[in-house]
Amino acid sequence: MITVADITSAYGRKQILHGISFTAERGECIGIVGANGCGKSTLLSIMAGTLKPKSGQLLYYGRTAWSDAGSGRMRGDKQVIRSMTGYVPQENPLIPELSVYDNLRLWYPNKKQLRQELEQGFLSLLGIGEFSSKQVCRLSGGMKKRVSIGIAMAGMPPVLLMDEPSAALDLICKEDIRRYLLVYLERKGTVVLTTHEESELSLCSKLYIMKDGRLYETDSRLRGDALTGRM
């Protein structure tokens, strides 16, 4: 289980997150929607270990990722976070001058494992083997997103954190990513994603609205105006 308990965050005196709490089980997809600037990316950055919370607690399957060490000090365990999570930020983490394969090698140190993944594993499901020799700077946005997901899945982490994974992608790529996520969920991976895409909302077993740094659970079946009217 993932346990997020009373997580807060601030930039200077400005409070960004106010007591964020939720839980997620194996095989669950948690969807978070909300207007730009409401705090969604900040929450995922904290869960991925790239941003320190002000207070609260974060557990991944009983292992402490962030906790209050007393006197207002937060203590993080980066090893827990690295071993438990894969993170797909909005901006891709790729080195444009390198080939796709060479980018993947930075995250898959075992060449045999990388070949297996490209031929019959998750990287194959993403279709990355078809363009692994190409230079990243020559890829389309959809191809770059697939590689970003492939990098996040190095080591097969049990939790996948995704910040608007299908934004600005074409319909074919969106559907490919959706199919990939279905397989990951069927294999009992846990997904936490921010999204406005209805194809991704359909994956969510729980849906939350973030508004002014606060999180509210809502009906996961809501779509269109019925959903945006609550944001």
* Residue 176 pLDDT > 70: yes
65 alpha-carbon distance from chain centroid = 16
- Predicted pLDDT at 192: 97
Pairwise pLDDT comparison (87 vs 174), residue with the higher score: 87
* Residue 227 pLDDT > 80: no
- Mean pLDDT across 27-43: 91
> What's the structural domain count of the chain?
1
**What is the chain's mean pLDDT, rounded?**
89
- Mean pLDDT across 113-124: 89
* DSSP letters for 6-71: EEEEEETTEEEEEEEEEEE-TT-EEEEE--TTSSHHHHHHHHTTSS--SEEEEEETTEEEEEEEET
- Mean pLDDT across 72-86: 89
- Predicted pLDDT at 219: 75
- Predicted pLDDT at 63: 94
Pairwise pLDDT comparison (172 vs 58), residue with the higher score: 58
| 8 A C-beta contact, residue 117 and residue 147 | no
* Residue 28 pLDDT > 90: yes
CATH number of the domain within which 101 lies? 3.40.50.300
- Predicted pLDDT at 225: 63
Q: Residue 23: beta bridge partners?
A: 3
- Predicted pLDDT at 139: 93
* Residue 165 pLDDT > 80: yes
Give CA–CA dist 94/104, Å, rounded.
Answer: 9
Percent of the chain with pLDDT over 90: 57
Give CA–CA dist 61/85, Å, rounded.
Answer: 11
- Predicted pLDDT at 224: 66
Nearest to 152 by CA among 106, 208, 197, 200: 106
- Predicted pLDDT at 179: 86
HSE value, Cβ hemisphere, 13 Å, CA-based, for 134: 13
Give CA–CA dist 87/157, Å, rounded.
Answer: 10
- Mean pLDDT across 136-147: 91
Pairwise pLDDT comparison (224 vs 181), residue with the higher score: 181
Query: 85 is written with which tokens?
Result: 């999570």
- Mean pLDDT across 17-26: 95
Confidence at 120, pLDDT banded by 50, 70, 90: confident
Instruction: Kindly report the number of other CB atoms within 10 A of residue 87's CB atom.
Output: 22
Nearest to 189 by CA among 112, 141, 125: 125
- Predicted pLDDT at 76: 87
* Residue 229 pLDDT > 70: no
* Residue 42 pLDDT > 80: yes
- Predicted pLDDT at 218: 83
- Mean pLDDT across 207-213: 91
Nearest to 31 by CA among 216, 186, 176: 216
Query: 105 is written with which tokens?
Result: 């090698």
Residue 124 has φ and ψ, to the nearest 5°, of -70, -40
| 8 A C-beta contact, residue 182 and residue 203 | yes
| 171-186 vs 141-152: helix crossing angle, rounded to 10 | 10
Give CA–CA dist 132/128, Å, rounded.
Answer: 6
Could you list the residue range(s) of the whole structural domain that residue 77 is in? 2-228
